[in-house]
């Protein structure tokens, strides 16, 4: 055993006066008396009867010397060498990804073992040590900063759960590196099963990094794909089972409706590190629940939900005096419902549309609400500003590889005339006049709505006669509208979902699998929502509803084979440094002090045992009798 303050062992010399006091202790003979009332004051050792008598065995002397020994050892701060932390500053990065929910450890799940490892790291620090706790999921979060409070650490760990579909170490290590940058005696510990995304490039760290692995098994199988599709007179469900590990997985796929009604079942055998799939023909259903039987030690990916993809329906209002080219191009687009209204129609009370196209010749005091595409405006109408006219402009792409011009060939496009407009600061040019640089086609987003402008009348060009015209119109409609089909049919639990909210819809209530409803606040024309539980969610778009499924399977998290090692950074000298294996110190003075206190309490009870008995005898008039 080693000591941090060995000079404190000199306190053992206090045992000498204790022994001397016992040598001078007064000797008495026991006699029977009729009453002890007059003898109460005689129990103290006031003087020596036979000084320097032979030391005899005495329980109280033994307990007092034992208490002194324990206190002396506690003051010397003994410690034992353990495989742990000798660093005064410890930064722990705790993996909170879904794979940590696998139940293959003695503590139950990997996450429970990881929390125990965090507490062990705290216990192995020196007395003046400080611990910082970071969690690594999709993002890094600071949970506890530079603390020596074990109770606070325990309370924070009790609130944590594995909820993230990914564990990205880069932001967590950058934050850990900033924490230890100015700490000379520091250390970083990564507690994980290794199912993480390591940094794409090495990170320079000023402290050694240790990897504490949790988990022991990798023979997992889960539902990788559950997809519903519309067929002619039925609904088809495609299920793919992914097996990891070196053994095959024989499972039963059970398909149920969302209310638990059995629909189908099928036995599959997935080869080692392979796939098994099956396609089910189901009656007309909108959503299903798929599960594997029996479940394994990672049940999160043993079940999945699937919904039919949302129908891609978009309402387009075409305000025109007659444009057969544009009407035909819109009619060719699947899922697009086109409403044609005259140029002088009153749009103030019109039903909401996903996109309003104002053809050449429209004149109005204010632009209608919602997404807009304006063709050859005749006058300035905020936020559109007409600055002049263009004669025989030559169209050229404003930038290379613009997605709006994908598969669109506009070489030698003939344009008779057009209007010159100011490019708003929030818009980007797609086509420009090669000579003047004036924008001929631009798109942008203002206050949550998309606006596009074509600077020339389609009838004053040969664009409608080109094969590229319907392709360009399709690209423009996709760019300017928010389709209900933009909501994915399936996503992963814990992954943020961002969905555009088309005007004039101001709120999109979302019904959770547990029946509760939440309404995220739209910002910049979109809502961001992070699903925290698996199941089927329903989004309300005015009088329409879109459902999507949330599942747990990801290739990274379901591959549960624990990593043997994890290289997460390099030291400041630029040389790769292996994970350190230095020993730490575990101090035991607290336990010694607690034991000394217990011994002193016991000594006090024994020393006052006879005095209590004498007081009880004096109070009730009893006398002491020895047989």
DSSP characters for 103-127?
A: --BTTBSHHHHHHHHHHHHHHTS-T
* Residue entry with tokens 């088809």: 236
Distance CA 87, CA 583 (A): 10
Distance CA 38, CA 418 (A): 126
The confidence score (pLDDT) of residue 484 equals 57
The confidence score (pLDDT) of residue 575 equals 36
pLDDT band at 506 (very low <50, low <70, confident <90, very high): confident
pLDDT band at 9 (very low <50, low <70, confident <90, very high): confident
The confidence score (pLDDT) of residue 543 equals 72
Give the least confident one: 361-375, 422-436, 477-491, 571-585. 571-585
The confidence score (pLDDT) of residue 311 equals 66
The confidence score (pLDDT) of residue 47 equals 45
Give the least confident one: 350-359, 466-475, 534-543, 566-575. 566-575
Percentage of residues in the chain having pLDDT higher than 70? 86
Sign of CA dihedral 33, 38, 43, 48: negative
Tell me the H-state helices in 428-482: 468-480
The confidence score (pLDDT) of residue 623 equals 47
CB-based contacts of 227, cutoff 8 Å, min separation 6: 237, 238, 306, 489, 490
What does the block give as tokens for 56? 């005899």
Please say if the pLDDT value at position 175 is more than 50.
yes
Number of C-beta neighbours around residue 178 at 10 A = 12
Fold type of domain 221-310+554-558:
Immunoglobulin-like (2.60.40)
Please say if the pLDDT value at position 431 is more than 70.
yes
Tell me the H-state helices in 214-292: none
User: Contact, 439 vs 428, CB < 8 A?
Assistant: no
Distance CA 21, CA 60 (A): 12
Biggest CA pair distance of the chain: 136
The confidence score (pLDDT) of residue 618 equals 58
The confidence score (pLDDT) of residue 615 equals 65
Please say if the pLDDT value at position 13 is more than 50.
yes
Please state, rounded to an integer, the average pLDDT across all residues of the chain.
Answer: 84
Give the least confident one: 104-108, 232-236, 622-626. 622-626
- Decide which of 3.40.50.410, 3.40.470.10, 3.30.465.10, 3.20.20.70 is the CATH code for 84-216+562-582: 3.40.50.410
Compute the average pLDDT of residues 550-570. 81
Compute the average pLDDT of residues 47-71. 71
pLDDT band at 466 (very low <50, low <70, confident <90, very high): very high
The confidence score (pLDDT) of residue 108 equals 86
Please say if the pLDDT value at position 83 is more than 50.
yes
The confidence score (pLDDT) of residue 41 equals 57
Please say if the pLDDT value at position 425 is more than 90.
yes
pLDDT band at 217 (very low <50, low <70, confident <90, very high): confident
Q: Parallel, antiparallel, or unpaired for β 535-541 and 544-551?
A: antiparallel
CB-based contacts of 534, cutoff 8 Å, min separation 6: 300, 303, 304, 305, 493, 513, 550, 551, 552
State the architecture of 314-480 in CATH terms.
3-Layer(aba) Sandwich (3.40)
> Comparing 160 with 209, which gets the higher pLDDT?
160
Please say if the pLDDT value at position 336 is more than 60.
yes
The confidence score (pLDDT) of residue 284 equals 84
Compute the average pLDDT of residues 423-431. 94
Distance CA 454, CA 441 (A): 5
Judge whether 221-310+554-558 and 314-480 match in fold.
Answer: no
Q: What is the pLDDT of residues 239-288, one digit of tens each?
A: 999 999 888 999 999 999 998 899 999 999 999 999 999 999 998 888 99
Q: Helix 110-123 vs helix 150-159: angle between axes, to the nearest 10 degrees?
A: 170
Distance CA 625, CA 75 (A): 46
What does the block give as tokens for 476? 């423009």
Please say if the pLDDT value at position 512 is more than 90.
yes
Q: What is the pLDDT of residues 277-333, one digit of tens each?
A: 999 999 888 899 999 999 999 999 999 999 988 766 788 999 999 899 999 999 998
Compute the average pLDDT of residues 408-420. 93
The confidence score (pLDDT) of residue 96 equals 94
Q: Where are the domains positioned within the chain?
A: 2-79+590-620, 84-216+562-582, 221-310+554-558, 314-480
Closest CA to 548 of 310, 237, 313: 310
> Comparing 46 with 333, which gets the higher pLDDT?
333
φ, ψ (nearest 5 deg) of residue 470: -65, -30
The confidence score (pLDDT) of residue 268 equals 93
Q: In what order do the strands lie in the sheet with 287-293?
A: 262-270, 249-257, 287-293, 303-307
pLDDT band at 574 (very low <50, low <70, confident <90, very high): very low
> What are the C-alpha distances in Å from 264 to residues 208, 254, 261, 267, 545?
54, 6, 10, 11, 27
Three-state SS at 549 = strand
> What are the C-alpha distances in Å from 548 to residues 10, 488, 521, 531?
74, 6, 19, 11
CB-based contacts of 159, cutoff 8 Å, min separation 6: none
Give the least confident one: 86-95, 188-197, 290-299, 561-570. 561-570
The confidence score (pLDDT) of residue 30 equals 67
The confidence score (pLDDT) of residue 627 equals 41
Three-state SS at 75 = helix
CB-neighbour burial class of residue 565 (10 A; exposed 0-12, middle 13-18, buried 19+): exposed
pLDDT band at 504 (very low <50, low <70, confident <90, very high): low
The confidence score (pLDDT) of residue 582 equals 44
pLDDT band at 181 (very low <50, low <70, confident <90, very high): confident
The confidence score (pLDDT) of residue 406 equals 87
User: Contact, 86 vs 582, CB < 8 A?
Assistant: yes
User: N- to C-terminal Cα distance for the chain?
Assistant: 50
Distance CA 378, CA 427 (A): 20
Closest CA to 372 of 352, 355, 397, 348: 355
pLDDT band at 394 (very low <50, low <70, confident <90, very high): very high
């Amino acid at each position: 055993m080693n000591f941090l303050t060995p000079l404190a062992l000199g306190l053992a010399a206090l045992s000498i006066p204790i022994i001397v006091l016992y040598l001078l202790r007064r000797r008495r003979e026991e006699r029977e008396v009729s009453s002890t009332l007059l003898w109460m004051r005689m129990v103290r050792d006031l003087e020596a009867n036979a000084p320097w008598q032979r030391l005899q065995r005495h329980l109280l002397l033994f307990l007092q010397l034992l208490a002194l020994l324990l206190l002396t050892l506690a003051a010397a701060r003994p410690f034992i060498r353990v495989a742990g932390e000798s660093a005064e500053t410890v930064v722990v990065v705790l993996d909170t990804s879904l794979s940590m929910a696998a139940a293959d450890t003695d503590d139950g799940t990997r996450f429970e073992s990881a929390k125990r490892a965090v507490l062990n790291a705290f216990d192995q620090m020196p007395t003046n040590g400080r611990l910082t706790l970071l969690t690594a999921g999709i993002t890094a979060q600071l949970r506890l900063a530079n603390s020596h409070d074990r109770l606070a650490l325990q309370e924070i760990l009790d609130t944590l759960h594995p909820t993230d579909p990914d564990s990205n170490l880069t932001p967590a290590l950058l934050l850990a590196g900033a924490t230890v940058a100015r700490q000379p005696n520091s250390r970083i510990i990564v507690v994980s099963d290794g199912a993480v995304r390591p940094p794409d490039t090495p990170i320079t760290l000023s402290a050694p990094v240790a990897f504490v692995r949790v988990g022991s098994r990798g023979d997992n199988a889960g539902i990788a794909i559950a997809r519903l599709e519309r067929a002619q007179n039925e609904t088809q469900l495609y299920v793919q089972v992914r097996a990891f590990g070196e053994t095959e997985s024989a499972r039963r796929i059970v398909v149920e409706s969302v209310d638990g009604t059995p629909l189908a079942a099928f036995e599959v055998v997935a080869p080692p590190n392979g796939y098994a799939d099956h396609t089910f023909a189901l009656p007309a259903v909108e959503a299903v629940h798929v599960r594997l039987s029996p479940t394994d030690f990672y049940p999160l990916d043993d079940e999945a939900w699937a919904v039919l993809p949302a129908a891609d329906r978009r309402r387009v209002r075409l305000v025109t005096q007659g444009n057969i080219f544009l009407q035909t191009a819109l009619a060719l687009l699947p899922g697009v419902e086109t409403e044609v209204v005259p140029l002088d129609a009153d749009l103030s009370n019109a039903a909401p549309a996903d996109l309003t196209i104002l053809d050449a010749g429209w004149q109005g005091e204010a632009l209608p609400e919602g997404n807009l595409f304006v063709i050859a405006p005749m006058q300035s109408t905020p936020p559109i500003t007409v600055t002049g006219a263009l004669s025989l402009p030559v169209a050229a792409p404003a930038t290379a590889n613009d997605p709006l011009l994908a598969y669109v060939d506009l070489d030698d496009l003939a344009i008779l005339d057009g209007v010159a407009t100011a490019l708003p600061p929030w818009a980007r040019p797609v086509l420009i006049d090669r000579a003047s640089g004036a924008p001929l086609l631009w798109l942008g987003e203002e206050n949550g709505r998309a606006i596009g402008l074509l600077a020339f009348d389609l009838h004053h060009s040969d664009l409608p006669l080109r094969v590229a015209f319907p392709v360009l119109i399709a690209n423009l409609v996709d760019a300017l509208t928010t389709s209900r089909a933009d909501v994915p049919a399936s996503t992963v639990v814990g992954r943020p979902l961002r969905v555009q909210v088309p005007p004039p819809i101001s709120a999109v209530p979302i019904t959770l699998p547990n029946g509760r409803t939440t309404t995220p606040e739209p910002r910049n024309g979109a809502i961001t929502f992070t699903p925290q539980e698996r199941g089927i969610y329903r989004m309300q778009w005015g009088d329409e509803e879109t459902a999507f499924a949330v599942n747990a399977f990801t290739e990274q998290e379901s591959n549960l084979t624990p990593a043997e090692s994890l290289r997460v950074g390099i030291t400041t000298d630029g040389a790769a440094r292996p994970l350190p294996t230095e020993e730490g110190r575990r101090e035991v003075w607290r336990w010694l002090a607690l034991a000394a206190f217990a011994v002193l309490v016991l000594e006090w009870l024994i020393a006052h045992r006879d005095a209590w008995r004498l007081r009880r005898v004096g109070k009730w008039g009893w006398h002491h009798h020895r047989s």
